[in-house]
Amino acid sequence: MPSLTSMAESILAQAKKLDAYLEAQNLACPSFDDDTLDQLPDELQDERWAFANDVNELKQLSRGATQTTLDCAFSWTDALGLRVVYHYKLANAVPLDGTASYAEIATASGLKEDLCRRFIRLAMGSHVFTEDLETQRVRHTASSRRLVTDQGFSDAVGLEIDELGPASSRLIDVWEKHQQDVAEPDQSAFSMFNETNKPIFAFLASQPERAQRFGGAMRYFTKGESWDLRHILASFDWPSIDQPGAQVIDIGGGNGQISQYLARHTKHVHYIVQDLAHMISQAPSQLPGDLKDRIEFVEHDFFTPQTTEPPAAFVMRYILHNWADKYATRILQNIVPAMRKGTKFLIYEYVLPDRPATDLAGRFGFQMDAIMATIFNAQERTAAEYERVLKGADPRYVVESVCRPEGSTMSIVQVGWMG
């Protein structure tokens, strides 16, 4: 480990570079009121995250092992402060550019004044709101203001703090109940917490507001460069299959987002989007007119065998990580009847690194894995785990490559067939 001084010097050099950009652009120094680092151009955002990682590492070293571990143990209290703010919409009770007293916030939100004061002050420890020293009136910070002005951000915070975090409190109970061997989506921690025997999406179907928040949060989390669909173009040689008569089957393709994007970037391929009846009945009406002759929606349950002719390629995005190995194996086995030598099978997923991560970005995969465990009894997988589950489903599956294009969060596992 380098010395504290050399770590601090490296952080200083990074800080100078970021400051220089802000100064050149006449942007204010970052503060809890004004998050100017968000305005850095893409090429400087990587520097910013490297800076944040190094600062975080130095913070943990300076806190020491005991206090850093206790910080983690106490983090539920920070989450609770934010949850109270989110749940009672306390951010909406403070004017965007003014102040409010705790009594005014109580009247507007319906949460008793002393609870407002205690839990807003708890949240202030994470710079969610600030308090004027003299008047003790509450003022927004960049964070609390964004809860009001950015619905996607609010949905993302709400999903984690008011839905998934609380549901995760039952994960160990689920493991203990099923001897740590449970694959059923309707026996998840989410289902146990919500006292339902339905899997998450069936349960949310009867709770439109929560379902809408889930959708809003997913859109928020998958915004930005690293999620751009152009990465799917970079990770496979699409021109090699773009021939007249070629078909691509998009398994569990939902509203056909991937197929629509691919149709716009290929000339000849015909896309078949397979999904369950409720999706297939509404998706075609949302299809742009000029794609109607390129994309077809067909009802197909991926737990039943494919009955189609072998296509040029199968595509499957965000499906396998929703299922434990037992079910992922069945999904993969049901594709076998339509696999032939030369058929490509492209699995588009987050691929977990095969090593632990302490950097802030690298931890994302393990956080996703915890979410998959909580809501589906499922998991994220490493490249080796994708290979294992594919080979377990049928030894004729061959993993040809696992590619994460530069700048992409997601990877493509390219699978062939040894027929």
Ligand X SMILES: C[S@@+](CC[C@H](N)C(=O)[O-])C[C@H]1O[C@@H](n2cnc3c(N)ncnc32)[C@H](O)[C@@H]1O
In the complex, the residues that contact ligand X under the rule CB under 6 A are: 252-254, 257-258, 275-276, 279, 301-303, 317-319
Q: Could you tell me the smallest distance in angstroms from the CB atom of residue 319 to ligand X?
A: 6
Q: Which is nearer to ligand X, 81 or 155 (CB)?
A: 155
Q: Could you tell me the smallest distance in angstroms from the CB atom of residue 301 to ligand X?
A: 4
Containing 315, the helix (H) or strand (E) segment is strand 313-317
Q: Which is nearer to ligand X, 30 or 253 (CB)?
A: 253
Containing 142, the helix (H) or strand (E) segment is helix 142-149
Q: Which is nearer to ligand X, 190 or 302 (CB)?
A: 302
Q: Could you tell me the smallest distance in angstroms from the CB atom of residue 318 to ligand X?
A: 4
Q: Which is nearer to ligand X, 215 or 342 (CB)?
A: 215
Q: Which is nearer to ligand X, 254 or 362 (CB)?
A: 254
Q: What angle do helix axes 151-158 and 208-221 make, rounded to 10 degrees?
A: 110
Q: Could you tell me the smallest distance in angstroms from the CB atom of residue 316 to ligand X?
A: 7
Residue type, 159: L
CB 190 within 8 A of CB 374: yes
Q: Which is nearer to ligand X, 62 or 281 (CB)?
A: 281
Distance CA 11, CA 23 (A): 18
One-character DSSP codes across 2-24: --HHHHHHHHHHHHHHHHHHHHH
Please say whether the dihedral angle defined by the alpha carbons of residues 99, 101, 103 and 106, taken in this order, is positive or negative: positive
10 Å CB burial of residue 214 (0-12, 13-18, 19+) is buried
Nearest 10 degrees: Cα torsion 67, 69, 72, 77: -50
Q: Which is nearer to ligand X, 260 or 266 (CB)?
A: 260
Q: Could you tell me the smallest distance in angstroms from the CB atom of residue 315 to ligand X?
A: 8
Q: Could you tell me the smallest distance in angstroms from the CB atom of residue 275 to ligand X?
A: 5
Q: Could you tell me the smallest distance in angstroms from the CB atom of residue 255 to ligand X?
A: 7
Distance CA 392, CA 326 (A): 10
One-character DSSP codes across 76-138: HHHHHHHHHHHHTTGGGGS-TTSEE-HHHHHHHH-S-HHHHHHHHHHHHTTTSSEE-TTT--E
CB 349 within 8 A of CB 318: yes
Closest CA to 322 of 272, 379, 363, 248: 379
Q: Which is nearer to ligand X, 85 or 263 (CB)?
A: 263
Q: Could you tell me the smallest distance in angstroms from the CB atom of residue 217 to ligand X?
A: 13
Q: Strand, helix or coil at 45?
A: helix
